[in-house]
C-alpha cells in the first residue's frame, strides 16, 4: 500500500468510497478538529501546513496517540505514534 491506498482500502471495507490521492481525500470528507479526533479519522500531513495543496501523506488515527500508516509505497503498514509536525488537519469519511 501507499498511504492513500491504505486509507482508500480501509474505508472501502465500510462501504465508503475515497479517491486514491491524499490531497483529494482531504477535500472529499468532512473536516474534524484536532480536539474531536476519533479512531478511523484520516489525518493529513503537508509540507506547508497553511496550504492544503502541499499535502503529501495521510494516515488513519487509532486513538491513544497512535495512527496506522503506510509510510511510502513498498514499505510495511505499521502502527506509529501520532505525529503533529506537518499536521494540516483531519477528516471523517462517510459523514
Catalytic residues: 3, 57, 69
Q: Are strands 66-69 and 78-81 parallel, antiparallel or unpaired?
A: antiparallel
**Which among 8, 6, 12, 2 has a CA at the least distance from the CA of 24?**
8
The residue with cell 488515527 is 61
**CA-to-CA distance for 89 and 43, rounded, in angstroms?**
6
Amino acid at each position: 500500500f501507499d498511504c492513500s491506498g491504505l486509507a482508500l482500502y480501509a474505508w472501502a471495507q465500510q462501504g465508503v468510497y475515497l479517491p486514491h490521492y491524499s490531497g483529494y481525500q482531504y477535500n472529499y470528507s468532512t473536516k474534524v478538529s484536532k480536539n474531536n479526533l476519533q479512531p478511523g479519522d484520516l489525518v493529513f500531513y503537508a509540507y506547508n501546513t497553511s496550504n492544503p495543496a502541499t499535502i503529501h501523506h495521510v494516515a488513519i488515527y487509532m486513538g491513544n496517540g497512535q495512527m496506522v500508516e503506510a509510510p511510502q509505497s513498498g514499505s510495511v503498514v505499521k502502527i506509529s505514534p501520532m505525529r503533529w509536525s506537518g499536521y494540516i488537519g483531519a477528516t471523517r469519511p462517510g459523514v
